[in-house]
Amino acid sequence: MSLRQLLLRLPCYLGASGPRRGPLDTISSVVSWRGQSSRSPAHWNQVVSEAEKIVGYPTSFMSLRCLLSDELSNIAMQVRKLVGTQHPLLTTARGLVHDSQNNLQLRGLVVLLISKAAGPSSVNASCQSYDMVSGIYSCQRSLAEITELIHTALLVHRGIVNLDELQSSDGPLKDMQFGNKIAILSGDFLLANACNGLALLQNTKVVELLASALMDLVQGVYHENSTSAKENHITDDIGILTWKKQTFLSHGALLAKSCQAAMELAKHDAEVQDMAFQYGKHMAMSHKINSDLQPFIKEKTSDSLTFNLNSAPVVLHQEFLGRDLWIKQIREAQRKGRLDYAKLRETISAGKGVTSAIDLCRYHGNKALEALESFPPSEARTALENIVFAVTRFS
Amino acid sequence: MASCWWRWRRGCSWRPAARSPGPGSLGRAGLSGLRAAAAAASRAQMSYFNLVKSLTSAFPNMYSISRFHHVTPAVCCCSRTRSGEKYTDPFNLGWRDLKGLYEDIRKELFISTTELKDMCEYYFDGKGKAFRPIIVVLMARACNIHHNNSRNVQASQRAIALIAEMIHTASLVHDDVIDDASSRRGKHTVNKIWGEKKAVLAGDLILSAASIALARIGNTTVVSILTQVIEDLVRGEFLQLGSKENENERFAHYLEKTFKKTASLIANSCKAVSVLGCPDPVVHEIAYQYGKNVGLAFQLIDDVLDFTSCSDRMGKPTSADLKLGLATGPVLFACQQFPEMNAMIMRRFSSPGDVDRARQYVLQSDGVQQTTYLAQRYCREAVREISKLRPSPERDALIQLSEIVLTRDK
| pLDDT tens per residue across span A352-383 | 889 999 999 999 999 999 999 999 999 999 99
The answer, for B182 touching chain A at a CB cutoff of 8 Å, is: no
Kindly state the average pLDDT of the residues B241-270. 89
Q: What does the pLDDT read at residue B295?
A: 96
pLDDT of residue A86: 67
> By C-alpha distance, which of B231, B229, B216, B227 is closest to B158?
B216
Percent of chain A with pLDDT over 90: 31
What distances in angstroms separate CA B244 from CA A233, B247, B382, one per listed residue? 50, 7, 29
Per the CB < 8 A criterion, the answer to whether A53 and A114 are in contact is: no
| Identity of the residue numbered B338 | F
What is the SS3 string spanning A335-364?
Answer: ECCEECHHHHHHHHHHCCHHHHHHHHHHHH
With cut-offs at 50, 70 and 90, classify the pLDDT of residue B70: very low
CB–CB of A196/B226 below 8 Å?
A: no
Contact predicate B160/B276, CB 8 Å:
yes
How far apart CA A259 and CA A118 sit, in angstroms, is: 10
- Give per-residue pLDDT as tens, A70-92: 666 666 666 666 666 667 776 66
State residue A79's pLDDT score: 64
Q: Which one of A302-311, B35-44, B380-389 scores highest in mean pLDDT?
A: B380-389
Q: Evaluate whether residue B315 is within a structural domain.
A: yes
- Whether the per-residue pLDDT at A268 is higher than 50: the answer is yes
In the chain, the amino acid numbered B280 is D
Domains of chain A plus CATH, in order, are 2-392 (1.10.600.10)
CA-nearest residue to B174 within chain A is A184
Closest CA to B395 of B379, B409, B383: B383
**Parent domain of B170:** 65-407
Question: How far is Cα B136 from Cα B157, in angstroms, rounded to an integer?
Answer: 8
Q: Which of A208, A225, A230, A257 to mutate to test the interface with B (most CBs of B within 10 A)?
A: A208
pLDDT at A85: 67
Length of chain A (residues): 395
Residue B74 placed within a domain: yes
Furthest-apart CA atoms within chain B: distance in Å: 71
Within a domain: B307:
yes
Find residue A41's DSSP bridge partners.
A32
Q: Is the pLDDT of residue B265 over 80?
A: yes
Position B129 in a domain: yes
Total number of domains constituting chain B: 1
The whole-angstrom distance between B312's CA and the closest CA on chain A is 26
A211 vs B111, B177, B211: nearest CB:
B211
* B35 falls within a domain: no
In a mutational test of the A interface, the residue from B223, B257, B260 whose CB has the highest number of chain A CBs within 10 Å is B223
Shortest alpha-carbon distance between residue A115 and chain B (Å): 22
Q: Quick count: other Cβ atoms within 10 Å of Cβ A331?
A: 10
Best mutation target among A160, A228, A236 (most B Cβ atoms within 10 Å) is A160
**Closest approach of B20 to chain A, Cα-based (Å):** 43
* R_g over Cα of chain B: 21
Q: What is the pLDDT of residue B116?
A: 86
Answer yes or no: is B10 within a domain: no
Report the distance separating Cα B2 and Cα A47, nearest Å: 65
Distance, in Å, from the CA atom of A192 to the CA atom of A200, rounded to the nearest integer, reads 12
Contact assessment for residue A118 and residue A375, using Cβ atoms and an 8 Å cutoff:
yes
Percent of the residues in chain B that have a pLDDT greater than 90, as a whole number: 45
Q: Which of B103, B146, B30 is nearest to B395 (CA)?
A: B146
Contacts of B115 in chain A (CB under 8 A): 226
Kind and range of the H or E run holding A136:
strand A136-137
Report CA B349 to chain centroid distance, whole Å: 26
What CATH code is carried by the domain that includes residue B207?
Answer: 1.10.600.10
Q: Provide φ and ψ at B118, rounded to 5°.
A: -60, -45
Q: Is residue B175 within a helix (H) or strand (E), and if so which, with residue range?
A: helix B155-179
Nearest-by-Cβ selection for B196 from A180, A219, A226: A180
Q: Indicate the residue of A189, A212, A222 with minimum beta-carbon distance to B212.
A: A212
Query: A335 forms bridges with which residues in the sheet?
Result: A338
**Minimal Cα distance from B110: which residue of A?**
A215
Q: B95 with B135: CB under 8 angstroms? A: no
Query: What is this model's ipTM?
Result: 0.80
Q: Is residue B97 part of a domain?
A: yes
DSSP states of A201-229 as a string?
TT-HHHHHHHHHHHHHHHHHHHHHHHHHH
Burial class (CB in 10 A: 0-12, 13-18, 19+), B262: buried
- Residue B50 is given by DSSP the state H
In the DSSP assignment, the letter for residue A169 is: G
One DSSP character per residue, A235-304 reads S----HHHHHHHHIIIIIHHHHHHHHHHHHHTT--HHHHHHHHHHHHHHHHHHHHHHHHHHHH-SS--TT
Question: How far off is chain B from A202, nearest CA to CA, in Å?
Answer: 5
Provide the pLDDT for residue A255. Answer: 95
**∠ CA A227-A230-A236, rounded to 5°:** 50
Q: What is the sign of the dihedral through the CA atoms of B277, B280, B281 and B285?
A: negative
Which three-class secondary structure state does DSSP give residue B368? helix
Q: Is B180 on the interface with A (CB under 8 A)?
A: yes
Q: What is the mean pLDDT of residues B51-71?
A: 42
Mean pLDDT for chain A overall? 76
Q: What is the pLDDT of residue B72?
A: 39
Label residue A113 exposed, middle or buried (CB < 10 Å: 0-12, 13-18, 19+). buried
The stretch A240-255 carries a mean pLDDT of 92
Rounded to 5 degrees, what angle do the CA atoms B377, B382, B383 make?
Answer: 100
| Among B182, B193, B201, the residue to mutate for chain A (most A Cβ within 10 A) | B201
Q: What is the 3-state secondary structure (H, E, C) of B293-355?
A: HHHHHHHHHHHHHHHHCCHHHHCCCCCHHHHCCCCCHHHHHHHHHCCCHHHHHHCCCCCCCHH
Domain assignment present for residue B197? The answer is yes
Name every chain A residue with its beta carbon within 8 A of the beta carbon of B201. 157-158, 218, 221-222, 225
Q: Average pLDDT, stretch B7-34?
A: 37
Distance of CA B162 to the CA centre of its chain: 16
Asked if A215's CB is within 8 angstroms of B205's CB, the reply is yes
Per-residue pLDDT tens over the stretch A279-321: 999 999 999 999 888 888 876 656 667 778 888 999 899 888 8
Distances (CA, A) of B283 to A113, B280, B396: 45, 6, 16
Residue-wise pLDDT for A115-138, tens only, equals 999 988 776 655 555 677 778 888
- Kind and range of the H or E run holding B290: helix B281-308
Rounded CA separation B310/B316 (Å): 9
Using one digit for the tens of pLDDT, what is the confidence trace for B117-136? 888 889 888 887 899 999 99
- What average pLDDT does the structure give for chain B? 80
pLDDT digits (tens, 9 = 90+) for B309-368: 876 666 666 788 888 888 999 999 999 899 888 888 888 888 888 888 888 899 999 999
Angstrom distance (rounded) from CA B272 to CA B284: 8
